[in-house]
Structure 1
Amino acid sequence: MGGALLRYRAIAYVVGVILILLVVIGMPLKYAWDEPIVVETVGPAHGFLYMVYLIAVFDLARRTRWGLRRMLLVMLAGTIPFVSFYAERIVTRWVREPATVSG
């Protein structure tokens, strides 16, 4: 489980940083100054890495036996700037400190 969590954490950071570059730098350059170079280069990279992110989330969700709703929410976190960083912290907490079962 540690390997799956490490892979998820790494790709969550990478996807988060690239998404921020795309939205904060690339989109203003493209639409305000008609310079699409950042969007043309970073956009496809983000798309590919987001697919890797989805696979990492699916793998972690399968290993931890999350429900569909939790898995989908974590997957969506990679589409909103800055949210992937927050989700990564929450997911790490979920995996490292599983809920105690009261009996």
Structure 2
Amino acid sequence: MTKLTLLFRITAVLEGLSYIILLFIAVPIKYLFEDPQYVKMLGMPHGLFFMAYIVLAVMVGADLKWNNKTLFIVLIASIIPFGTFYIDKKYLRNEHA
């Protein structure tokens, strides 16, 4: 596994965790208890992880010679809850580059 692929795997996990925490914890607290501080606190890190995920996905895709369909699936997974964990298991975990 290349260093780039390892970095992408770590970023994918962090992006996925930040998205889940934001979506299932921070946003309900914001609307149920009218307390937006958690969304404000988690929004920026999630945004940075999201952007890093997109950039690294394109770089890893070029490195691993993914076809357009695979790259599209990897990119779409970033907006689906738990999607980055699926990508890690399906496309990255067993990669021996």
Match of 1:52 in 2: 52
Q: Percent identity?
A: 28
Q: How many residues align?
A: 97
54-63 or 67-76: which moved more?
67-76
**CA displacement, residues 33-90 of structure 1 (integer Å, 9 cap, x when unaligned):** 1111111111121111100011111111001111122112101212122121111111
Structure 2 residue aligned with 1:83 = 83
Any stretches of 5+ residues in structure 2 without a counterpart?
none
- 2:61 and 2:95 map into 1 onto residues whose CA distance is 10
In the alignment, the residues of structure 1 paired with residue 68 and residue 43 of structure 2 have an alpha-carbon distance, to the nearest angstrom, of 28
**Which range is displaced more, 19-28 or 73-82?**
73-82
Determine helix, strand or coil for the equivalent of 1:96.
coil
Larger radius of gyration: 1
The residue identity in structure 1 corresponding to 2:91 is V
Aligned counterpart, 2:32: 32
Greater shift after overlay, 63-72 or 6-15? 63-72
> TM-score, structure 2 length as denominator?
0.89
Q: Is contact 1:64–1:95 with CA below 8 Å preserved after alignment?
A: no
Q: Which amino acid aligns with 1:89?
A: K
Name the CA shift for 1:61/1:94 in 2 (closer, same or farther; >3 Å).
Answer: farther
Q: Secondary structure at the match of 1:66?
A: coil
Contact kept in structure 2, 1:18 and 1:46, CA below 8 Å: yes
Q: Aligned Cα RMSD in Å?
A: 1.7
| Separation of aligned partners in 2, 1:48 and 1:96 | 27
Structure 1: which 5+ runs fail to align? 98-103
Task: Decide whether the 8 Å contact of 1:30 with 1:39 is kept in 2.
Answer: yes
For the 8 Å contact 1:12–1:84, the answer to whether it is kept is: yes
* Change in CA separation of 1:93 and 1:10 when aligned onto 2, cut-off 3 Å: closer
